[in-house]
């Protein structure tokens, strides 16, 4: 497997906790960790396999740390690269925009030529709407530590196993 770049807000608490679990689940694989608060377009282009982590703010927005980098990503050149996204959401309190952040990032990185991998089933989740949905699947890993914390570890291990097969 080619080198993986893990991008998330390192100043966050919950997203960082999940990112660290994912990093651990990959085991000894070499993984570059990049703080999104300070990242630039070229940082993404340096990896063949990319993992992005985000929460969803308010009624379906990316957090500011992601929002602020988006203008720099309007001409990403990621053709041939694979991108996997994990997102945090709360399907009970925010069922109308559950893990929208996954969908918003998928849109940006697909526009940059990347292939989105790590799609997962919606089975076991209950929500109304999500921008992360495509053809009945999530465009990444949906984590709900507010209402389904007990399922988090298995979801991560399953997803990482899946990524090991799907990554370059």
Partner 1 sequence: MKKFTIKTTDKDTLQRWFYLMTLGRAIDNKAPAYLLQSLGWSYHAPYAGHDGIQLAMGEVFVKGEDFMFPYYRDMLAVLAAGMTAEEIILNGISKATDVAGGGRHMSNHFAKPEWNIENVSSATGSHDLHAVGVARAMVYYKHKGVAYTSHGEASTSEGYVYEAINGASTEQLPVIFVIQDNGYGISVPKHEQTANRKVADNFVGFKNLKIIHCNGKDVFDSMNAMTAAREYAISTSNPVIVQANCVRMGSHSNSDKQTLYRDEDELAYVKEADPLLKFRRMLLRYKRFTEEELKQIEADAKKELSQANKKAIAAPDPDPSTIFDFVTPEPYHPQKYVDGTHNETGEPKNLVTAINETLKAEFRLNPNTFLWGQDIANKEKGGVFNVSKGMQPEFGEGRVFNAPIAEDYIMGTANGMSRFRKDIRIVVEGAEFADYFWPAIDQYVECTHEYWRTNGQFSPNITVRLAAGGYIGGGLYHSQNLEGALTTLPGARIVYPSFADDAAGLLRTSLRSEGFTLFFEPKALYNAVESSTVVPDDFEVPFGKARIRRDGSDITIITYGNTTHLCLDAAERLAKDGNYSIEVIDLRSLIPLDKETIAESVKKTGKVLVVHEDKVFSGFGAEIAASIGTELYRYLDAPVQRVGSTFTPVGFNPILEKAILPNTDRIYAAAKELLEF
- 31 Cβ partners below 8 Å, 6+ apart? 3, 4, 5, 6, 23
User: How many helices (H) and strands (E) are present in the chain, helices listed first?
Assistant: 5, 9
Question: Rounded distance, CA 40 to CA 7, Å?
Answer: 11
Site string for partner 1, 12-51 (x = CB under 8 A): ----------------------------------------
Instruction: State which of positions 49-88 bind partner 1 (CB under 8 A).
Output: 57-59, 61, 63-64, 67-68, 71-72, 74
153 binds partner 1 (CB under 8 A): no
Question: Rounded distance, CA 66 to CA 57, Å?
Answer: 11
Question: Rounded distance, CA 46 to CA 35, Å?
Answer: 14
Minimum distance of partner 1 from residue 87's CB (angstroms): 17
Site string for partner 1, 94-113 (x = CB under 8 A): x-xx----------------
Phi, psi of 138 (to 5 degrees): -75, 145
Minimum distance of partner 1 from residue 164's CB (angstroms): 34
Number of residues that bind partner 1 (CB under 8 A): 14
Work out the angle at residue 25's Cα, subtended by the Cα atoms of residues 69 and 122, and round it to the nearest 5 degrees. 70
Considering only the stretches 25-33, 91-99, 112-120, 133-141, report the one whose residues sit in contact with partner 1 under the rule CB under 8 A.
Answer: 91-99
Work out the angle at residue 157's Cα, subtended by the Cα atoms of residues 136 and 10, and round it to the nearest 5 degrees. 90
**C-beta closer to partner 1: residue 24 or 70:** 70
Considering only the stretches 27-35, 93-101, 103-111, 133-141, report the one whose residues sit in contact with partner 1 under the rule CB under 8 A.
Answer: 93-101
In the complex, the residues that contact partner 1 under the rule CB under 8 A are 57-59, 61, 63-64, 67-68, 71-72, 74, 94, 96-97
């Amino acid at each position: 497997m080619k080198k993986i770049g893990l991008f998330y807000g390192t100043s966050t608490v919950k997203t960082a906790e999940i990112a660290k679990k994912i990093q651990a689940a990959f085991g000894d694989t070499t993984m570059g960790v990049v703080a999104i608060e300070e990242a630039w377009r070229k940082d993404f282009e340096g990896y063949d396999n990319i993992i992005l982590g985000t929460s969803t703010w308010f009624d379906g927005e990316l957090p500011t740390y992601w929002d602020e980098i988006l203008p720099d990503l309007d001409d990403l050149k990621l053709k041939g690269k694979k991108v996997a996204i994990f997102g945090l959401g709360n399907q009970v309190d925010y069922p109308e925009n559950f893990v929208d952040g996954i969908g918003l990032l998928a849109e940006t990185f697909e526009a940059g030529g990347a292939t989105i991998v790590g799609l997962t089933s919606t089975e076991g989740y209950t929500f109304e709407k999500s921008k992360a949905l495509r053809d009945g699947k999530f465009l990444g890993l949906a984590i709900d530590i507010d209402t389904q914390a007990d399922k988090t570890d298995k979801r991560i291990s399953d997803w990482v196993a899946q990524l090991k097969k799907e990554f370059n």
